Amino acid sequence: MTIEAIIEKGPDGLYGIRTESIIGRTCLGGFGLNVEEVKEDFFVCIQEAIEDAEEQGLPHPVFEDVHVNFTYDLPSFFNNFDMLNTSKFASYAGINESKMRQYKCGAAYPGTKTTKKILAAIRKIGAELSAVML
């Protein structure tokens, strides 16, 4: 089973995961103070949903067969990958540093064109890191 899940930072500063997937009769979600916590809570929710479905005699996946694809909003991405320096990343991506800091904290949201630039920079960094040999 593959679950498409979206991690977002809320206006209260907490993080949440939402998905349209259900297991048995249970809607899935998670909450936390940071991305690590929200992911942990989400996986606990999945495990509990599987247990509930099993108790109710409903079809359910095996926990080990559940794969989650996470999509991040920008504040969640930078919380999860906090080893990235926001200013250096902005320069690398060709984006104004001040705007990037606003995107990081959720004070502003990038348009489609800027989002594509950010995603292209993330993928380029990933490719460069994958090619490193030590």
Could you list the residue range(s) of the whole structural domain that residue 119 is in? 84-130
Of the three residues 48, 72, 96, the one that is the final residue of a domain is: 72
74 torsion bin: left (phi>0), alpha (psi -120 to 50), beta (else) = alpha
Establish if 66 belongs to a structural domain: yes
Same domain, 43 and 99: no
Establish if 53 belongs to a structural domain: yes
Same domain, 32 and 88: no
Domains: count for the chain: 2
Q: State pLDDT tens for residues 16-54.
A: 999 999 999 999 999 999 999 999 999 999 999 999 999
Q: State pLDDT tens for residues 86-129.
A: 999 999 999 999 999 999 888 888 999 999 999 999 999 999 99
Same domain, 90 and 38: no
Read off the tokens for 20.
């349209």
Rg, C-alpha atoms of the chain: 18
